[in-house]
Structure 1
Amino acid sequence: MKIDKGKAVEALRHRGQHSRADWVDRELPARIDTAQHSGVLATLNLNPADFADPPS
């Protein structure tokens, strides 16, 4: 599954974690592959299911 980086950045900023949001914005691709970056998402306490695109 892939999630939009902007949603993850927005969630981190909403929590007040601006430096982490800046890091994600710089280091991760526009579409974050949840399998490839599962460790980073877990470290940031981001649940990929919260950011999944709605079914089309």
Structure 2
Amino acid sequence: MARENHIFTVVPKMEVESQVDWRLPVFEAGRYLVAFDGAALLLLELWEKTKEARAM
């Protein structure tokens, strides 16, 4: 049985929680949100866009 590669993302919950939709499978871990595979890529993109908007 072959193993597939997986990714995960951990981001600060306070910074992205207003943008996270209920359909995105994320898990709360204290002050953070954790997502796996495709949801991890979407969560990372939300967090990076939030950081860019704050820097302007």
Structure with max Cα Rg: 2
User: TM-score per shorter chain, which class?
Assistant: 0.3 to 0.5
Higher relative contact order (CA 8 A, sep 6+): 1
- TM-score using structure 1 length: 0.34
Q: Which has the higher helix share?
A: 1
TM-score (norm. length: structure 2)? 0.34
